[in-house]
């Protein structure tokens, strides 16, 4: 065998080994999904097949201003070194030219290369150097760099590394897509879990609200029946008895007229007049109990003043009513809603607060009307009360009224610190007309209107 034949045989064997290595590289990295494993495996093959001592893989940063060294072998860099120098600026130098020019760069001695601009302190000297671009659809996405081969890199090394780089670029892109897909899947699962949890909470809240509404409805029906029974009782014991008394007095007067006893007739008619006056008062009281006429006639401020006056008389508690802003008539639904919330809050103060003082503050502004009802009583634990299944229907009722008005109800309280119920209602379309000054003189505390109850 001649010398040239031996050279050809060695070259063929070397080519076969290179092709076999390329095939093994393709098989191995095709099975990998973790990006760092793909990078480390690919770089090991490149160093081995080119006989290099040192190598790295850099990927372009998203903003395209630098290259991030994502894999390095043959140089055990400290974490401090890597943190400071892992980014290579993409400006003309022996490394960045590979990406900037999108072509291989080769140097027999990088230390003396004209495009060298220095190296970080602590970095090993770089003599022979070969860098090839990593391309995705023809566009550079980074580079593979190998260095410090005992002899200079040849055209064959350059061609071989370019071939490897094409396989590595595909594997890197696949690994990146896999990680993006995995991140998107994890994000989707997290969103689904969060949404499921949100829906579960909404379902529980709706179930609780439905239960509360059922209890509230039952309580409303009970209250209605009790109110009907009370009205019937009042009519029987009050108005009915007075009417019977008046009938008897009229009968007695007729008998006296028949006996021509005029003086006694006048006396009987006076008693009839007194009885009918009592009937009138009793009927007015019953009407007031059903719906306060002051609310319809004069508006919410006067109705609140009257109720506060009556509240003091019947409970013995001080109740100061105050109006601020420019009082205006509201639509009937808003006025009765605010009035009923005030009633409920003051009744709760009477029944549970053990207070000595209460107050009602109604504030008008161009944008809203605000009702505040407070007391200096013992307060309560709002969270604990709301956790009870049936012990807070008054609060539920007030909140339902607030929602029906498009308003917001808040309760400020804690044990031994009194309580404040605040209802804010936006007034975009709820004002009807200003209250004339001759009907309302309410700056500060509202004077009592009369002695009839508005309950």
The answer as to whether 199 is a domain residue is no
Q: Is the dihedral of CA 160, 166, 171, 173 positive or negative?
A: positive
CA neighbor of 113 nearest in space, from 130, 101, 134: 130
Cβ proximity of 32 and 41 under 8 Å = yes
Cβ proximity of 266 and 275 under 8 Å = no
Do 8 and 68 have their domain in common?
A: yes
Domain that holds residue 269: 212-286
pLDDT in tens, 230-286: 666 666 556 666 677 777 777 777 776 767 666 666 777 777 777 777 777 767 666
Do 85 and 168 have their domain in common?
A: yes
Give me the numbers of helices (H) and strands (E) for the chain, helices first please: 12, 14
The answer as to whether 267 is a domain residue is yes
Name the token pair of 35.
């990006």
| pLDDT of amino acid 430 | 56
SS3 at position 323 = strand
pLDDT in tens, 429-449: 555 555 554 444 433 333 333
What is the C-alpha separation between 347 and 349, in angstroms, rounded?
5
Quickly tell me which residue has 């970095």 as its tokens.
Answer: 123
Mean pLDDT of 89-93: 86
Q: Residue 148: which CATH number?
A: 3.30.450.40
What is the C-alpha separation between 330 and 328, in angstroms, rounded?
6
**Mapped to the 3 state alphabet, what secondary structure does 35-84 carry?**
HHHHHHHHHHHHHHHHCCCEEEEEEECCCCCEEEEEEEECCCCCHHHHHH
User: 204: part of which helix (H) or strand (E)?
Assistant: helix 155-234
The answer as to whether 335 is a domain residue is yes
DSSP secondary structure string for all residues of 135-153: EETTEEEEEEEEE--SS--
The answer as to whether 366 is a domain residue is yes
Name the token pair of 191.
């969103």
Query: For the chain, what is the largest distance between any 2 Cα atoms, rounded to a whole number of angstroms?
Result: 170
Do 317 and 248 have their domain in common?
A: no
Mean pLDDT of 314-327: 91
pLDDT in tens, 14-53: 666 666 666 666 666 666 668 888 888 888 888 888 889 9
| pLDDT of amino acid 451 | 35
The answer as to whether 202 is a domain residue is no
Number of domains making up the chain: 3
- Percent of the chain exceeding pLDDT 70 equals 73
Which of 286, 315, 334 is the last residue in one of the domains? Answer: 286
Do 260 and 370 have their domain in common?
A: no
Q: How confident is the model at residue 99 (pLDDT cuts 50, 70, 90)?
A: very high
Do 160 and 300 have their domain in common?
A: no
pLDDT in tens, 401-431: 888 888 999 999 888 888 999 999 998 655 5
Name the token pair of 277.
């006056």
Cβ proximity of 260 and 297 under 8 Å = no
Collect all residues with Cβ–Cβ distance below 8 Å to 96 and sequence separation of at least 6.
67, 88, 89, 90
Cβ proximity of 126 and 110 under 8 Å = yes
57 backbone dihedrals φ, ψ, rounded to 5°: -125, 130
Do 88 and 31 have their domain in common?
A: yes
Do 278 and 222 have their domain in common?
A: yes
The answer as to whether 189 is a domain residue is no
The answer as to whether 197 is a domain residue is no
| pLDDT of amino acid 178 | 84
Name the token pair of 97.
């030219």
Q: Residue 314: which CATH number?
A: 3.30.565.10
Cβ proximity of 287 and 293 under 8 Å = yes
| pLDDT of amino acid 95 | 86
pLDDT in tens, 289-308: 666 777 888 889 999 998 89
Which of 255, 286, 317 is the last residue in one of the domains? Answer: 286
Which of 248, 263, 286 is the last residue in one of the domains? Answer: 286
Do 255 and 271 have their domain in common?
A: yes
pLDDT in tens, 339-391: 989 988 998 888 888 889 999 999 999 899 999 999 998 888 777 777 665 55
| pLDDT of amino acid 105 | 92
Check: pTM over 0.85? Answer yes or no: no
The answer as to whether 192 is a domain residue is no
Do 131 and 174 have their domain in common?
A: yes
pLDDT top residue among 166 and 234: 166
Do 228 and 335 have their domain in common?
A: no
Do 358 and 304 have their domain in common?
A: yes
| pLDDT of amino acid 392 | 58
Is pLDDT of 5 > 90? no
Do 180 and 257 have their domain in common?
A: no
CA neighbor of 18 nearest in space, from 210, 198, 158: 158
| pLDDT of amino acid 348 | 86
Angle between helix axes 3-30 and 155-234 (nearest 10 degrees) is 0
């Amino acid at each position: 065998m001649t010398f040239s034949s031996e050279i050809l045989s060695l070259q063929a064997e070397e080519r076969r080994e290179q092709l076999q290595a390329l095939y093994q590289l393709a098989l191995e990295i095709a099975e990998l999904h973790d990006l760092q494993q793909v990078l480390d495996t690919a770089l090991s093959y490149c160093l081995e097949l080119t006989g290099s001592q040192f190598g790295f893989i850099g990927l372009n940063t998203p903003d395209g201003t630098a290259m991030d060294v994502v894999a390095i072998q043959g140089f055990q860099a400290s974490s401090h070194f890597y943190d400071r120098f892992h980014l290579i600026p993409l400006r003309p130098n022996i490394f960045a030219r590979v990406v900037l020019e999108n072509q291989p760069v080769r140097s027999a001695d990088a230390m003396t290369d004209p495009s060298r601009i220095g190296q970080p302190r602590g970095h090993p000297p770089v003599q022979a150097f070969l860098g090839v671009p990593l391309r995705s659809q023809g566009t550079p996405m980074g580079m593979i760099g190998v260095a410090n081969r005992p002899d200079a890199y040849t055209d064959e090394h350059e061609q071989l590394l370019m071939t490897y780089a094409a396989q590595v670029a595909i594997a890197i892109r696949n690994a990146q897509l896999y990680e993006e897909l995995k991140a998107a899947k994890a994000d989707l699962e997290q969103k689904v879990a969060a949404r499921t949890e949100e829906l579960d909470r909404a379902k529980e809240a709706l179930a609780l609200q439905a239960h509360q509404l059922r209890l509230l409805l039952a309580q409303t029906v009970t209250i209605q029946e009790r109110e009907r029974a009370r009205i019937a009782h009042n009519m029987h014991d009050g108005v009915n008895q007075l009417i019977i008394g008046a009938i008897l007095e009229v009968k007695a007067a007729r008998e006296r007229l028949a006996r021509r006893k005029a003086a006694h007739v006048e006396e009987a008619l006076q008693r009839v007049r007194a009885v009918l006056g009592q009937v009138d008062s009793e009927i007015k009281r019953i009407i007031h109990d059903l719906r306060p006429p002051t609310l319809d006639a004069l508006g919410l401020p006067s109705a609140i003043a009257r109720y506060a006056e009556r509240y003091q008389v019947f409970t013995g508690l001080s109740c100061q009513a105050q109006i601020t802003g420019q009082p205006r008539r509201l639509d009937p639904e808003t006025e009765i809603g605010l009035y009923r919330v005030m009633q409920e809050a003051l009744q709760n103060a009477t029944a549970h607060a053990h207070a000595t003082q209460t107050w009602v503050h109604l504030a008008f502004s161009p944008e809203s009307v605000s009702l505040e009802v407070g007391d200096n009583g013992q307060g309560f634990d709002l969270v604990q009360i709301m956790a009870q299944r049936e012990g807070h229907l008054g609060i539920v009722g007030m909140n339902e009224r607030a929602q029906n008005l498009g308003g917001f109800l808040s309760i400020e309280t804690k044990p031994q610190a009194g309580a404040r119920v605040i209802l804010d209602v936006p007034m975009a379309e709820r004002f009807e007309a200003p209250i004339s000054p001759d009907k309302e003189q309410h700056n500060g505390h509202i004077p009592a209107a009369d002695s009839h109850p508005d309950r």
